[in-house]
Homo-oligomer: A and B are copies of this chain.
Amino acid sequence: MAANFAYKNTRDFQFLLKEWLPMEEVMAYPQFKEYYSIDDVEPILNTFRKMCKEVIEPTCDDGEINPVKFENGQVILPPTVGPTLQKLQQDGWGASNVDKTPGAMVLPNVLHWMLWDMVTAANPQIPCYFGMCAGSTDLIQAFADDNVKKMFLPKMFDGTYTGTMCLTEPSAGSDVGDILSKAYPTDNPRIYNIKGQKIFITNGDNNYSENIVHLYLARVEGSIPGTKGISLFVVPKYWINEDGSTEFNDVFPTGVEEKMGQHGNATVALSFGDNNKCRGWIMGKSPLTNDGKGEGMAQMFMMMNQERLATALMASALTANALYNAADYARERVQGYHKPEGRVALSKHEDIKRGLLLLKSHLDAFRAMIFTTYIDFDIKYFSPDEKVRKEANDEIEVNIPLCKAYCSDECWNLMAEAIQIYGGYGYCEEYPIAKMARDCKPYSIWEGANYIQSMDLIGRKWGLEKGAVFAKWFKKIADFYEANKDAKGFAKEFAQLGKAVQAYPQIQGAILNWMKNKEGDMVPVYSKRVLMATAQIYGGKLLLEQAIIAAKKAEEIGADHYDYKFYMGKVYSAKYYLNNIVPNVAFVAEILKNADKSVLDIDFDSFDY
Whether the pair B420, A449 counts as a contact (CB closer than 8 A) is yes
A565–B609 Cα gap in the complex (Å)? 9
Sample of 11 further A-B pairs with CB below 8 A, known A261-B427, A354-B524, A572-B598: A323-B607, A330-B604, A350-B599, A350-B600, A412-B412, A492-B594, A569-B603, A572-B602, A579-B594, A583-B587, A583-B594
Whether the pair A178, B449 counts as a contact (CB closer than 8 A) is no
Q: Give 14 A-B contacts (CB < 8 Å), ordered by A residue.
A: A8-B608, A9-B609, A11-B609, A175-B337, A175-B343, A258-B429, A350-B524, A351-B525, A412-B413, A412-B416, A419-B445, A424-B445, A437-B441, A565-B603
| Known contacts A175-B335, A335-B174, A591-B579: A606-B568 contact under CB 8 Å | yes
Distance between A534 CB and nearest chain B CB, rounded to angstroms? 17
| Known contacts A350-B525, A351-B525: A609-B566 contact under CB 8 Å | yes
A203–B441 Cα gap in the complex (Å)? 30
| Known contacts A434-B260, A441-B419, A579-B594: A606-B566 contact under CB 8 Å | yes
| Known contacts A174-B335, A360-B607: A599-B354 contact under CB 8 Å | yes
* Residues in chain B near residue A504, CB distance under 8 A: none
Whether the pair A442, B420 counts as a contact (CB closer than 8 A) is no
Q: Tell me whether A521 is interfacial, beta carbon within 8 Å.
A: yes
A336–B175 Cα gap in the complex (Å)? 5
Chain A stretch 317-357: residues in CB contact (< 8 A) with chain B? 323-324, 327, 330-331, 334-337, 343, 347, 349-351, 353-354, 356-357
Q: Tell me whether A580 is interfacial, beta carbon within 8 Å.
A: yes
Partner of A12, one of B349, B575, B609: B609
Whether the pair B603, A174 counts as a contact (CB closer than 8 A) is no
Distance between A24 CB and nearest chain B CB, rounded to angstroms? 22
Distance between A25 CB and nearest chain B CB, rounded to angstroms? 25
* Residues in chain B near residue A441, CB distance under 8 A: 416, 419, 426-427, 437
A187–B79 Cα gap in the complex (Å)? 62
Q: Tell me whether A42 is interfacial, beta carbon within 8 Å.
A: no
| Known contacts A259-B429, A429-B259, A451-B420: A602-B569 contact under CB 8 Å | yes
Interface centre among A258, A437, A450, A606 (most CB of B within 10 A): A606
A600–B579 Cα gap in the complex (Å)? 14
A569–B576 Cα gap in the complex (Å)? 39
Interface residue ranges, A against B (CB under 8 Å): 8-9, 11-12, 168, 171-175, 178, 199-200, 257-261, 323-324, 327, 330-331, 334-337, 343, 347, 349-351, 353-354, 356-357, 360, 409, 412-413, 416, 419-420, 423-424, 426-430, 434-435, 437-438, 441-442, 444-446, 449-451, 492, 496, 521-522, 524-525, 527-528, 565-566, 568-569, 572-573, 575-576, 579-580, 583-584, 587, 590-591, 594, 596, 598-609
Distance between A424 CB and nearest chain B CB, rounded to angstroms? 5
> A354 — nearest CB in chain B belongs to which residue?
B599
A444–B200 Cα gap in the complex (Å)? 32
Distance between A376 CB and nearest chain B CB, rounded to angstroms? 24
* Residues in chain B near residue A580, CB distance under 8 A: 591, 594, 596
Distance between A588 CB and nearest chain B CB, rounded to angstroms? 10
Q: Is the interface of A mostly helix, strand, loop or mixed?
A: helix
Whether the pair B357, A521 counts as a contact (CB closer than 8 A) is no
Whether the pair A528, B351 counts as a contact (CB closer than 8 A) is yes
A590–B175 Cα gap in the complex (Å)? 41
> A168 — nearest CB in chain B belongs to which residue?
B424
Whether the pair A575, B603 counts as a contact (CB closer than 8 A) is no
A324–B607 Cα gap in the complex (Å)? 7
Whether the pair A496, B594 counts as a contact (CB closer than 8 A) is yes
A151–B386 Cα gap in the complex (Å)? 87
Whether the pair B424, A442 counts as a contact (CB closer than 8 A) is yes
| Known contacts A419-B445, A606-B568, A607-B356: A351-B260 contact under CB 8 Å | no
> A607 — nearest CB in chain B belongs to which residue?
B327
Partner of A521, one of B350, B430, B566: B350
* Residues in chain B near residue A423, CB distance under 8 A: 173-174, 445, 449
A420–B343 Cα gap in the complex (Å)? 43
Partner of A606, one of B420, B449, B492, B569: B569
* Residues in chain B near residue A522, CB distance under 8 A: 350
A109–B173 Cα gap in the complex (Å)? 46
* Residues in chain B near residue A428, CB distance under 8 A: 257-260
* Residues in chain B near residue A419, CB distance under 8 A: 441, 444-445
| Known contacts A580-B591, A603-B568: A525-B323 contact under CB 8 Å | no
Distance between A255 CB and nearest chain B CB, rounded to angstroms? 10
* Residues in chain B near residue A444, CB distance under 8 A: 416, 419-420
A261–B427 Cα gap in the complex (Å)? 8
Whether the pair B587, A599 counts as a contact (CB closer than 8 A) is no
Distance between A585 CB and nearest chain B CB, rounded to angstroms? 11
* Residues in chain B near residue A8, CB distance under 8 A: 608-609
* Residues in chain B near residue A451, CB distance under 8 A: 351, 420
> A10 — nearest CB in chain B belongs to which residue?
B609
Whether the pair A591, B583 counts as a contact (CB closer than 8 A) is yes
Distance between A606 CB and nearest chain B CB, rounded to angstroms? 3
Whether the pair B200, A424 counts as a contact (CB closer than 8 A) is yes
> A429 — nearest CB in chain B belongs to which residue?
B258
A438–B446 Cα gap in the complex (Å)? 20
Whether the pair B525, A354 counts as a contact (CB closer than 8 A) is yes
Whether the pair B524, A430 counts as a contact (CB closer than 8 A) is no
Whether the pair B596, A335 counts as a contact (CB closer than 8 A) is no
> A348 — nearest CB in chain B belongs to which residue?
B604
